[in-house]
Amino acid sequence: MQKRKLFKRNTLLFNILITLLINGLAIGLMLVLNRSYIHDENIFILFILAVLIITIETKSIIYSIISCAFLCLAFNFFLTEPQYSFVMDDLNYYISFGFFIIIAIIFGSIVIQLQKEVKQSQENEKRINILFDLSKKFLNCHDEDEIYNCITACLEENIKNKFLLKNLFLNKTYGNITSLSNEEMEACDFSVNQFTIVGYNQPVYSSNNFLVFPIRSKSVKFGYIFIRLIKNSFSDSEFNFIKSISTEAAVVLERERAIQEQEKSEHKSEREHFKSTLLRSLSHDLKTPLTSIQSGSLFLKENLDNISATETKELLDDIYNESVSLYSFVNNLLNMSKISDRQSINKEYESLADIMQNVEEYFSKQKFSQKIIYPTVDETTLIYCNAQLMIQLFINLISNGIKYTAPGSTISVIFNINNDNLLAEISDNGGGIPVDKIKDLFKEDKRLLQKKDAYRSNGLGLIICKSIVEIHNGFIEAMNNDIGGASFKFRIPLKRGEHDDTDNRG
């Protein structure tokens, strides 16, 4: 309040000083022109120019009228007979002074009106830019609370009035008003239910010092914006600004709700799809290794004394290989179940070196004839991920190379860190992938090769790889390489991204 009084006082002082200065300059020029024998008509034009400048600078017609009277008196005092007296003997001067004052008032009014229109145009341009920026911010919002926070920040920056923003779905309020009276609450309910603006100068609650703007679509009531007025004053520009915000907010909230409903539907469909995949895998791929383990162990039990040590070792190797395959299959099933419910996946900053150490330890216990070349990883390299899923990702991709390459082949794991992204490549030289099968590798129930001597494929490994990479906001692809084999490349961000909050609620 004191700042406002001080501002008004400074503005008044400035207007007085600028009026006195311009009038003084005009009188000085008048005396110079008079000595140069310039006609009186030109001096009046000088006076009109002075009055216009005063009007522009002070933005008030009052100072223009005062200047007209002052300049007329000065002209009479210095230039008319008798000089240095306010007496005028010539009637024509009275007429000229009258026209001068009328012209000055008309020109001054026109200038003030133009100034108001320019100011209004500038305000409208500013409001449009604010609404445009708000629209861009809405695009980065991922839930209703973020949308309401954007609206709150916009209102706090651009209106002087106190306000309350209500989210009916979350029953949450925003803004700098803590509570409303019973009448104000009734007005808010009426505004939202009837889909109409109520309050000051409106058909309903017109005598009150507030305005309520509903935020809703034709079918959904999202909330409202309550504005408490200052001295019952609210310009048309401010009114249209708040109305535009409430309308745009309703559109954005309806879009967000539609997206959420679509995501729920897709998530439900995805879960059903995973369930059906699990059931098909259980009915086929779980039964096969169990049958092999059961029949092999039964044969050993009944014929242990009748078979050679070499045959016994071969049977035990087969049983072991079947159990390893079964273990991998069960891990994939568990991970697939976890992936189907993304909210249960926890991500933390993990050491990439520790992840690769776990992968190496896993394969060190397996029996295969291929050679695996691991990368050297800096101990300080961290990646924001679910460690268990990342380990499973590398195990699945390397296992895929072991299954479908000839004995003695080489499988290489290559890392490259670029722009805070992990670029990984798992390559082999084992013959590559048929071109017509590459596009289907990450689809359900597609087998890489159909060879009788190949280890079985459970149909889940590569599907899970793709899901793990996508959960970590990455991308994976497969291709044939230049050394006569296949390459699987994926990219995963090392740092936590803006979308990780939605996937990390467990």
pLDDT at 427 over 80: yes
In three-state secondary structure terms, 55 is helix
pLDDT at position 455: 33
Lowest-pLDDT range of 88-97, 195-204, 233-242, 438-447? 438-447
Query: What distance in Å separates the CA atoms of residue 33 and residue 40, rounded to the nearest whole number?
Result: 9
pLDDT at position 152: 92
**Model confidence pLDDT, tens digit, residues 17-30:** 988 898 889 888 88
Mean pLDDT of 389-414: 90
Query: What distance in Å separates the CA atoms of residue 199 and residue 148, rounded to the nearest whole number?
Result: 22
Lowest-pLDDT range of 314-318, 337-341, 360-364? 337-341
In this predicted model, which residue has the larger pLDDT, 215 or 46? Answer: 215
Residue 162, phi then psi, degrees to nearest 5? -75, 150
Confidence of residue 456 (pLDDT cuts 50, 70, 90): very low
pLDDT at 252 over 60: yes
The radius of gyration of the chain's CA atoms, rounded to the nearest angstrom, is 41
Confidence of residue 500 (pLDDT cuts 50, 70, 90): low
pLDDT at 353 over 60: yes
pLDDT at position 449: 39
Mean pLDDT of 334-338: 65
Q: What is the largest CA-CA distance in the chain?
A: 150
pLDDT at 377 over 60: yes
Q: Where are the alpha helices (DSSP H) in 404-500?
A: 435-438, 461-471
pTM: 0.47
pLDDT at position 215: 94
Question: Which positions ≥6 away from 53 have C-beta within 8 Å?
Answer: 22
pLDDT at position 190: 94
pLDDT at position 505: 38
pLDDT at position 446: 43
pLDDT at 74 over 70: yes
pLDDT at 357 over 90: yes
- What is the overall mean pLDDT for the chain? 81
pLDDT at 451 over 60: no
Lowest-pLDDT range of 1-15, 243-257, 384-398? 1-15
Mean pLDDT of 104-114: 79
Confidence of residue 448 (pLDDT cuts 50, 70, 90): very low
Contact (Cβ atoms closer than 8 angstroms) between residue 430 and residue 486:
yes
Query: What distance in Å separates the CA atoms of residue 378 and residue 357, rounded to the nearest whole number?
Result: 12
pLDDT at 503 over 50: no
Torsion 131-252-147-386 (CA) sign: negative
**Model confidence pLDDT, tens digit, residues 141-198:** 878 888 999 999 999 888 888 999 999 988 999 998 988 999 999 999 999 999 999 9
Confidence of residue 32 (pLDDT cuts 50, 70, 90): confident
Query: What distance in Å separates the CA atoms of residue 128 and residue 57, rounded to the nearest whole number?
Result: 28
Confidence of residue 452 (pLDDT cuts 50, 70, 90): very low
**Model confidence pLDDT, tens digit, residues 310-321:** 888 888 877 877
pLDDT at 350 over 80: yes
In this predicted model, which residue has the larger pLDDT, 506 or 181? Answer: 181
Query: What distance in Å separates the CA atoms of residue 350 and residue 348, rounded to the nearest whole number?
Result: 6
Q: What percent of the chain has pLDDT over 70?
A: 84
Query: What distance in Å separates the CA atoms of residue 19 and residue 409, rounded to the nearest whole number?
Result: 95
Question: Which positions ≥6 away from 345 have C-beta within 8 Å?
Answer: 338, 339, 386, 389, 471, 503, 504, 506
The number of beta carbons lying within 10 Å of the beta carbon of residue 1 is 5
pLDDT at position 2: 52
